[in-house]
Amino acid sequence: MSCKFCIFSFIFLILSGCTYNFRGFIARDIHSIAIPVFGNRTVKYGIEEQLTKLVTESFIRDNQLKLLDRKSADSILLCEITKYTKTPFSYDAQENVKDYKTEISIKLIYKKSSDKIILEKEFKDWSLYSSQETEEIGVERLCEKLAEDILKKVVEGW
């Protein structure tokens, strides 16, 4: 009897048209995205270009939304870097800095071309890098992490 129930349930699901959507959170009417250079309200010069580039590359690799200019795209991703800090994180026995912590805060607005806001969120993340490395390496690592987080939030909704 249970086997018949399983078969009946399977057939019912097929006939009812239940399908899985691989597009995740993206609305069905959104097929493209524009990603203008992010704003930067911090003193860290160039970080907006670096993060914009990495986010753009993430969307290109993901390939769910076609990257277009602002006039042609169905949606637009607006981001502004609101905070950047670099602080010592750990010290060795001689009280020399062993690791630094970089932290970035971002305000994100993802909207349709009609200006209807789909998502508005504040992102805050941090990363560590060794004092043997340059600050640029630490920033790059953090920007890569943030780019993936932004992609997931826009495409998957979580």
Contact (CB, 8 A) for 151 and 58: yes
Beta bridge partners of 39: 80
Q: What CATH number belongs to 26-156?
A: 3.30.160.150
Instruction: Please list, in sequence order, all residues whose beta carbon lies within 8 angstroms of the beta carbon of residue 110, skipping any fewer than 6 positions away.
Output: 75, 76, 77, 78, 117, 118, 119, 120, 154
**Res 23: pLDDT:** 44
- Domain ranges in the chain are 26-156
**Res 22: pLDDT:** 45
For the chain, which ranges sit under pLDDT 50? 12-23, 158
Chain segment 32-77, per-residue pLDDT in tens: 999 999 999 999 999 999 999 999 999 999 999 999 999 999 999 9
Largest interatomic CA distance in the chain: 75
3-state secondary structure of 43: coil
The pTM of this model reads 0.79
3-state secondary structure of 123: strand
Tokens 């920007």 correspond to: 143
Helix then strand then coil, in percent of the chain rounded to 5, is: 35, 35, 35
Q: How far from 95 is each of 88, 91, 113, CA to CA, in Å?
A: 11, 5, 53
Q: How far from 86 is each of 17, 29, 98, 114, CA to CA, in Å?
A: 53, 41, 13, 38
